[in-house]
């Protein structure tokens, strides 16, 4: 009994919240159209929670998610304007976010030096390309790449030979990355929004046209379902999944049992970057615009969803289903309050209260039964 209550507690919470608003809010809240709207509204946060759940289970955190979402929309819009096919643009956007996730992970496990080496290499290349004497001529590219490689490998060699690993707290690393990535997003559009031509990317999360009605929900929402299912399989039915839990539950035990703790963390942060990129893709689909100042503070919604869904910031606990339910609870509150005619601030107060209650309930559940 208590096992099922543990497992489906958040789901029960969602049903209660929904039932509450179904009673008090006007009938439009209960309409099928509103259900679909809420599903679409949850898609962006929901997609990002998948990766965040993994990170939080390892007792880490990723604050750069909001910035990564903004950067992804910028990259996609930028590339579409350069006449790249939509698929390439989308892949590039999600791929860059994953790359930044990889950088997060690399610094967290203590290889700041490696990141520095690669950055210096790229910096040298960019510097030479901007040098008027050489510019973007073939000679400029050749010398730039050569000089970049030489400098990069020198720094890398020095790092591997003389420097120790210096692990850094995930909070600090990703806080810094929050700023860095936001800066890159602004750089890409000169602090301006980028309007993008209309492509099929727009259809990912918009209301379905009549002839597609059999799909019930937009493809973006289905994609989220698939992603969640895959992540669930990863967590519960693979070695990596068990290792993720072990690292978060007790890192020393994981090490004792031969788990490659560093590699697990690297994977997890990369995956979190990738799902942030996918969330960025959905965000782009909603607005069809690259916006460098969008999704500010989104990471806090994502973290809140994970916590409401039973994730523990001290690690070892959390579930994909729970986190998605957490995201849905927040959407239902938002939608319900709006339809009920309550001002914006009440939503915030209620959501905040729910987070505290969820955590308190969680602690209560975990107290030894004495």
In the complex, the residues that contact other proteins under the rule CB under 8 A are: 3, 233, 236-239, 241-243, 245-246, 249-250, 252-260, 316-317, 368-369
Compare residues 166 and 260 and give the one whose CB is closer to other proteins: 260
> Exposed/middle/buried for 98, CB within 10 Å: 0-12, 13-18, 19+?
buried
Do 324 and 279 touch, CB atoms closer than 8 A? Answer: no
CB closer to other proteins out of 236 and 340: 236
Give the tokens for residue 299: 């990471």
Q: Which helix (H) or strand (E) is 121 found in, with range?
A: helix 112-130
C-alpha 369/C-alpha 1 separation (Å) is: 14
If the CB atoms of residues 2 and 82 are measured against other proteins, the closer one turns out to be: 2
Closest contact distance (angstroms) between CB of 248 and other proteins is 8
Find the angle CA(204)-CA(207)-CA(213) to the nearest 5 degrees. 100
Minimal distance in Å, beta carbon 57 to other proteins? 10
Report yes or no: 71 and 295 within 8 Å, Cβ to Cβ.
no
Shortest Å, Cβ 246 to other proteins: 5
Residue 134 CA to residue 115 CA, distance in Å, equals: 27
**Closer CB to other proteins, 238 or 346, in the complex:** 238
Ramachandran assignment for 199, one of left (phi > 0), alpha (psi -120 to 50 degrees), beta (any other): beta
Return the structure tokens found at 347.
């939503």
CB of 224 to other proteins, least distance (A): 23
**Closer residue to other proteins (CB): 226 or 349:** 226
Q: What minimum distance in Å lies between the beta carbon of 225 and other proteins?
A: 21
- Closest contact distance (angstroms) between CB of 226 and other proteins is 18
CB nearer other proteins, residue 253 or residue 353: 253
Residue ranges of alpha helices (H) inside 25-59 are 32-57
């Amino acid at each position: 009994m208590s096992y099922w209550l543990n497992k489906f507690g958040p789901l029960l919470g969602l049903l209660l919240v929904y039932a509450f608003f179904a009673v008090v809010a006007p009938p439009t809240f209960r309409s099928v159209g509103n259900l679909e709207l809420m599903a679409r509204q949850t898609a962006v946060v929901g997609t990002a929670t998948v990766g965040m759940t993994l990170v939080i289970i390892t007792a880490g955190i990723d604050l750069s998610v909001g910035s990564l979402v903004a950067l992804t929309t910028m990259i996609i819009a930028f590339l579409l304007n350069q006449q790249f096919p939509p698929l390439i643009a989308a892949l590039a956007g999600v791929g860059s976010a994953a790359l930044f996730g990889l950088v997060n992970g690399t610094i967290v496990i203590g290889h700041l030096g490696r990141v520095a080496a690669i950055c210096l290499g790229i910096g040298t290349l960019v510097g030479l390309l901007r040098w008027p004497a050489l510019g973007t001529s073939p000679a400029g590219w050749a010398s730039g790449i050569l000089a970049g490689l030489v400098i990069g490998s020198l720094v890398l060699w020095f790092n591997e030979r003389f420097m120790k690993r210096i692990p850094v707290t995930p909070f600090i690393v990703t806080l810094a990355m929050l700023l860095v990535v936001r800066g890159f997003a602004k750089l890409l559009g000169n602090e301006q929004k980028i309007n993008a031509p209309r492509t099929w990317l727009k259809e990912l999360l918009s209301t379905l046209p009549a002839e597609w009605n059999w799909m019930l929900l937009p493809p973006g929402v289905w994609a989220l379902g698939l992603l969640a299912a895959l992540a669930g399989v990863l967590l519960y039915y693979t070695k990596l999944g068990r290792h993720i839990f072990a690292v978060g539950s007790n890192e020393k035990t994981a090490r004792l049992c031969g788990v490659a703790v560093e590699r697990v963390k690297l994977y997890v942060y990369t995956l979190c970057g990738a799902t942030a990129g996918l969330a960025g893709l959905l965000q782009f689909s909603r607005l069809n615009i690259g916006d460098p100042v969008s999704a500010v503070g989104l990471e806090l919604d994502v973290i809140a969803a994970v916590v409401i869904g039973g994730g523990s910031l001290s690690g070892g606990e959390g579930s994909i289903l729970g986190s998605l339910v957490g995201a849905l609870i927040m959407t239902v509150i938002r939608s319900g309050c709006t339809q009920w005619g309550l001002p914006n601030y009440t939503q915030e107060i209620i959501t905040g209260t729910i987070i505290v209650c969820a955590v308190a309930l969680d602690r209560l559940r975990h107290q030894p039964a004495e």
